[in-house]
């Protein structure tokens, strides 16, 4: 097996493990109609922040947000907002609050959902997720 092929297989296996771990984490989190993602610090590298959104009884959606080096925390929050808006249906209301927080909300009859951080390759940006 070539070195490149081995790396591709290893990367796929690692991604599957991360996603399986995220699904397990999401099961332990109480679903809600409102979530807050707090962004702290600016980006000190290019990279991607990946989130998982899982509605009760539904399929998980992965939200991948590309971030450029040098983005301030308020701009990272705007990038996260834009990533969620493009990945989720219109029933999910996504907005920036206080400059560095992203709110994701739905109302009945849309099912409650969970939000989890899958991974991030962006240096320095800290992310805290909780019910709003």
C-alpha 114/C-alpha 99 separation (Å) is 22
Closest among 115, 107, 74, 73 to 91, alpha carbons compared: 107
Q: Does domain 3-131 have CATH number 3.50.4?
A: no
Confidence of residue 29 (pLDDT cuts 50, 70, 90): confident
pTM above 0.85, yes or no: no
| Residue 3 pLDDT exceeds 70 | no
Q: List C-alpha distances in Å: 67 to 14, 73, 90, 107, 130.
A: 22, 11, 23, 30, 22
Residue 75 has pLDDT above 70, yes or no: yes
pLDDT surpasses 60 at 53: yes
The ranges assigned to domains in the chain are 3-131
Cα–Cα distance, 32 to 35 (Å, whole number): 7
104 touches 34 (CB < 8 A): yes
**Whether residue 120 has pLDDT greater than 80:** yes
CA 103/CA 37 separation, integer angstroms: 6
pLDDT category of residue 27 using cuts at 50, 70 and 90:
low
Residue 16 has pLDDT above 90, yes or no: no
Place 10 in a pLDDT band, splitting at 50, 70 and 90. very low
Q: In the structure, what pLDDT confidence band is assigned to residue 111 with cuts at 50, 70 and 90? A: very high
pLDDT value for 114 = 97
Secondary structure in 3-state letters for 22-75: HHHHHHHCCCECEEEEEEECCCCCCEEEEEEEEECCCCCEEEEEEECCCCCHHH
| 3-class secondary structure, 102 | strand
Q: Is the pLDDT reported for residue 107 higher than 80?
A: yes
Answer yes or no: is pLDDT of 5 > 90: no
How high is the mean pLDDT of the chain? 87
Contact (Cβ atoms closer than 8 angstroms) between residue 119 and residue 34: no
């Amino acid at each position: 097996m070539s070195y490149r092929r081995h790396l591709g297989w290893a990367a796929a296996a690692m991604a599957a493990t991360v996603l399986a771990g995220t699904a397990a984490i999401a099961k332990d989190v109480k679903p809600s109609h409102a979530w807050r993602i707090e962004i702290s610090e600016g980006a000190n590298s290019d990279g991607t922040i990946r989130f998982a959104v899982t509605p009760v009884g539904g399929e998980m959606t992965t939200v991948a947000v590309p971030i450029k080096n040098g983005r301030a925390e308020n701009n990272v929050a705007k990038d996260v907002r834009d990533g969620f808006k493009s990945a989720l249906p219109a029933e999910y209301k996504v907005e920036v609050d206080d400059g560095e927080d992203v709110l994701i909300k739905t109302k009945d009859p849309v099912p409650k959902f969970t939000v989890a951080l899958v991974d991030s390759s962006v240096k320095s940006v800290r992310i805290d997720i909780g019910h709003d």
